Amino acid sequence: MHSLVLALALAAPVVTAHVWAAPVKAENAANRKTAAKPKLRKTADQAVQPGEFANFGQWQEVAAFIDDMVERHGFDRKALEILFREARYVDSAIQLVKPAPPGRPKNWRAYRARFIEPMRIQAGADFWQTHAQALERAEQMYGVPAEIIVGIIGVETVYGRNTGNFRVLDTLTTLGFDYPDTPNRTARMKFFRGQLEQTLLLSRESAIDPFTLLGSYAGAIGLPQFMPGSIRNFAVDFDGDGKIDLRNSQVDAIGSVANFLVQHGWQSGQPIAFPATVTTTSMNGNPDNRWEAYIGQGLEAKYTLAEMATAGIAANGEAPADLPYGLVDLQNGSEATEYWLGAANFFAITKYNRSFFYAMSVVELGRAVRTARGG
């Protein structure tokens, strides 16, 4: 085992609440070294140029982070200093988290077409067929329909085909200490530093080299693309082999997705969403924009059908009158916006990814896969 891993693992009492499978093959040690001479960089305010080597061990903010990890979690200081000297700056992660250029309209139909397509539907049908027993067990235990679990794993990684090749430690360090200049920069840096903390704790608890954790450019790991904190808090050993392995165990991924949704508000047996119409003109033909007050009201269902009806919002289906809803707007560029009423279960999916487009893609992919199976 790498000496760094031993140092991290032995720096504090062993924690057994969260375990992991054997890590993927570690990189050759020679690949971790760079011939570039590190440039002294005291703070994150001095911008790193694209492709430039950054010695995170020289950053003041990183040093403060190390101090905190030593004080609060009992990590070995020297081990962390070595680790951050070996971490790489990932400029592509910086570019990928930047918001889309202003003026580009959102387009639900274009977004949908990326996920509700034949290859992904067939892969989902195959996945469901292979893991039908685990999906049924998850549905019985957690109350989350198999099609929703299948939809999430399909949208996230095409059932494990695209889990990401970024070293998680590199991307989280980069984003945690040098997030691009955006209005939410401070909050996002805090989030990614928190996930970096979770990565180190997860690695120590599992006695694995943190550099072997691969994932997305934002640090998400495995078939269901859980962030490190979500792995520690919501992942489950669903295949019963005594370890949690979201990178290689499809069954653990199935149970973990279901548990995540339940822990974020999923209600067994309740509906997800209903098509809706919005009336934009009053009976005398004048503009009526009262419905706009229901747009952008957070990721939760909190309005009755009666309340929304007074603003010209109506469900186009058998929406139960005794449930709360939220207005979901799926913009289609220059075309007409598509409206839905989302129940609590719809908004539980948005806790996985804070996007109406994402949640509806999960729902529709799951339905398409179920249909393809003859369900």
Query: Cα separation of 246 and 160, whole Å?
Result: 10
Where are the chain's structural domains? 3-99+165-222, 273-342
Percent of the chain with pLDDT over 90: 77
Helices 146-157 & 356-372 angle (0-180, nearest 10) = 110
Using CA atoms of 358, 321, 368, 337 in order, give the dihedral in degrees to the nearest 10: -50
- Indicate the fold that domain 3-99+165-222 takes in CATH: Helicase, Ruva Protein; domain 3 (1.10.8)
Query: Cα separation of 299 and 354, whole Å?
Result: 8
Q: Which of 17, 15, 23, 24 is nearest to 237 (CA)?
A: 17
Q: How many residues comprise the chain?
A: 375
Query: Cα separation of 209 and 231, whole Å?
Result: 16
Sign of the CA dihedral running 78, 83, 84, 86:
positive
Strand 326-332, strand 313-315: pairing: unpaired
Q: How confident is the model at residue 53 (pLDDT cuts 50, 70, 90)?
A: low
User: Both tokens of residue 96?
Assistant: 């990928």
Strand 273-278, strand 313-315: pairing: antiparallel
**Does 317 or 132 have the greater pLDDT score?**
132
User: Both tokens of residue 289?
Assistant: 């924009």
- Give the mean pLDDT of the chain: 87
Q: Which residues are catalytic?
A: 156
Neighbours of 48 (CB within 10 A): 17
118 and 149 Cβ atoms separated by less than 8 Å: no
- For residues 307-313, give the mean pLDDT: 94
Q: 207-228, pLDDT tens digit by residue?
A: 899 999 999 999 999 999 999 9
Q: How confident is the model at residue 4 (pLDDT cuts 50, 70, 90)?
A: low
What region, left, alpha or beta, does residue 242 occupy, with left being phi > 0 and alpha being psi -120 to 50 degrees? left
Sign of the CA dihedral running 118, 362, 91, 68:
negative
**Given a cut of 90, is residue 375 above it in pLDDT?**
no
Q: 350-374, pLDDT tens digit by residue?
A: 999 999 999 999 999 999 999 999 8
Give the per-residue pLDDT at 287: 78
DSSP assignment of 204-216 equals HHHT--GGG-EE-
Give the per-residue pLDDT at 103: 72
Output phi, psi for 182, to 5 deg: -130, 165
Give the per-residue pLDDT at 165: 96
Query: Cα separation of 369 and 147, whole Å?
Result: 7
User: Both tokens of residue 79?
Assistant: 């081990």
